[in-house]
Every structure is written in C-alpha cells, then in structure tokens.
Amino acid sequence: MITIIIFGFLFGLIMQYASLNRYDVISGMATLENLAVAKTIALVLGVGLLLLNFEISLGWASYHVKPLVAGGIVFGGILFGVGMTILGYCPGTLAISLGEGSLDALFGILGGLLGGLLYTVLLPYLSGILGPDFGTISLNSSILNNYIFWGIAIILSVLFITLSFWMHKIEKVKDNKWMWAGIGIAILNTLVFSQLGSNRPIGASTSFPYVIDRITGLTHNDYYQAIAPHGKWELIFLTGAFLAGLTGSLIRKTFRFNMVYERWTKYKGSNKVKRAVWAFVAGFLLLFGARMAGGCTSGHVISGGMQLALSSYVFAIVVFASLLITGKLFYRK
C-alpha cells in the first residue's frame, strides 16, 4: 500500500511540476492554444515504449494490453473527449487539482462518480453497442520476429519524440518542464509495470465505479467483482496524487480554493454555479466514456501506448478528434 501511495505521490508531483494537471492547460489543448499535454504524451510514448518493452524482454514485467472492443472504444472515446474538453481535467489529474484547491475538480469528481455508478448499472444493456471485441492486439502479438519488432518500435519511438519537439517548436514556448515531466512519467510507469513495482500499469478511471459502489453498495455485481482489485489500487494511487497536489501547493504557497479559471472566464464568464454545473456534467461524460472504453488518458493512451496496443491508439485518435471538435464548438467567445 505504501509503495502505491509513493507511486501516486510521484505521479502527482511530476504532473504538478509541469502544470499538466491544470484546467487552463488541458482545456487549452482542445483549442490548440496550449500543446503542453500533447507534446508530453508524445514524449512519454517515445521514451516509454522502448523502456517498457525492453523491461518486458528481460522478464521483469508483463504486458497488460486492453482489448479492442470497437464500439466501447469509439463511443467511449467520443464521450471522454467531450468531457475532457469541458471539464479540463482527466481522471488522474482531478485528484491532483483537488489537492491544490480546485473546486471545479470536486464537482467533476462527483459527476464522475455518478457516471461510474450509472455505467455499472446499465452495463448489461450496453453489450449491443460495446462490441465487437477483437481481443488484445499489440505490435508484440502481431510481429513474431524479434528483429522486425524492435525495428518498428525504434522507428515509432523516433517519430513520437520528433513529434513532441516539433509541437514544442511551433508553440514557441521556452519552458522545458514538459520534457522532464514526459521522461519522468515514462520512467515511473515502467517502474509501476515491473514485478518489483505493482505488476500493472498506471490508471485512474476504474477507481470511480469502485468508490461509488463501496459508498452505496448499489452495484455489487459481476462487473464490480471484476474491477474491484484494480479500483482499489487506483484509489490508493490517486490518494498519493491528491497528497502530492496538496503538499506541493502548500510548500509553494499556491494553494487556493478556486472554482473559475482564466480560460473559463474568457469563454464562459465568471459565474461559479455555471462552472460547477458544467464540471459535474463533464465529469459524468468523462467517466462514463472511460468505462465504456476500458480506460482513460493514463491507463489507455499512456500505458497502452507504451505497450504498442492497437486499442489504445484507436482510443487516442478518437479522443483527440472529439477534443478538437468539442473545443471548436464549446469554447466560443
């Protein structure tokens, strides 16, 4: 348990260091006004896919590839992108920002808990739109020749790293904290994957249906039984992330209770009730979508991307497209 909290604390500190948990930064990606998150993820994938696959090749870790459940990933990715754009947080960054005093993150969490509850209740009726399930498909399972596998992996790594620095160049920002954060997250996730770590990837969204069932006892069904071990791990992990957000902001004297941030005021005004309502709705969409897809930014895009999992790349593409479309429609002056 202590190890998991430490992992979560380190995750929170790294994200906070580069301000990657902030509403203005994440929502700014939807309008292409801030590329910090996008270039960090690209760098994480570029560095992380080599580190992780090398670790697995040594027998120090295992693959945990998510299945390509087409309907769930596409429809879930769309909902996730809409929620992420409006909320300005991911499931993993909500805890960090709450630790910093962001009250809109609290309403996003409450909406996410409702989304996790409703998804669990409705799951038996959603099977028709979640499939078909093509199973776990990754570069490792598709390319049996070791030399070809590593050749492709190295090429992909170079492409991701090049993409990250290209985005940094066109953004014309001198701050390099994103770069160190990207390397840090890649190393941290590799450690979490290891048998000496947690023998699983970083993740966050499973904690929401787990927590709401523990509180209400309304959905203690087969789905809950399947996710309970993962949900418990992620809850402990996010507790560490929350403590990192709180500790870091107190040390830097930046802790503030705040509901409305600059970008929201710019596009939607300063009404706190309006922001709270939208944060709740967006949190609901974010988590309902994450559960449909079987993961979120950390558990699918980053962890799955490092494993070169097809399902995670499809999810990332759908989420990014949904993010851009929603950003164009929602953030209008």
DSSP states of 119-164:
HHHHHHHHHHHH--B----BHHHH---HHHHHHHHHHHHHHHHHHH
For residues 110 and 61, what is the distance between their CA atoms, to the nearest angstrom? Answer: 35
Query: 200-213 burial, b if ≥16 CB within 10 A, otherwise e?
Result: bbbbbbbbbbbbbb
pLDDT at 59: 97
Please list the helix, strand and coil fractions of the chain in percent, rounded to the nearest 5, in that order. Answer: 75, 0, 25
pLDDT at 271: 97
For residues 132 and 167, what is the distance between their CA atoms, to the nearest angstrom? Answer: 35
- Dig out the tokens for 300 from the structure: 């699918």
Residue type, 34: N
CA distances from 109 to 102, 120, 232, 280, 312 (A): 11, 16, 16, 7, 23
Residue spans of the chain under pLDDT 50: none
Domain locations in the chain as residue ranges: 2-328
For residues 103 and 63, what is the distance between their CA atoms, to the nearest angstrom? Answer: 37
DSSP state at residue 302: I
Number of H helices, E strands in the chain: 15, 0
pLDDT at 324: 98
The CB-side HSE value for 114 (13 A sphere, CA atoms) comes to 12
pLDDT at 189: 98
Q: If we measure between CA atoms, which residue out of 198, 258, 189, 250 comes closest to residue 229?
A: 198
pLDDT at 113: 98
For residue 194, the cross-strand partners are 61
Q: Is 26 within 8 Å of 89 (Cβ atoms)?
A: yes
pLDDT at 323: 98
Q: pTM for this one? A: 0.95
Whether cis (ω within 30° of 0) applies to the bond prior to 132 is yes
Phi, psi of 61 (to 5 degrees): -155, 175
pLDDT at 219: 77
Residue in this structure with the two tokens 């309304």, named with its chain if needed: 218
Q: Is 106 within 8 Å of 277 (Cβ atoms)?
A: no
Please provide the size of the chain in residues.
Answer: 333
Phi/psi region, residue 135 (left: phi>0; alpha: psi -120 to 50; beta: rest), is: left
pLDDT at 221: 79
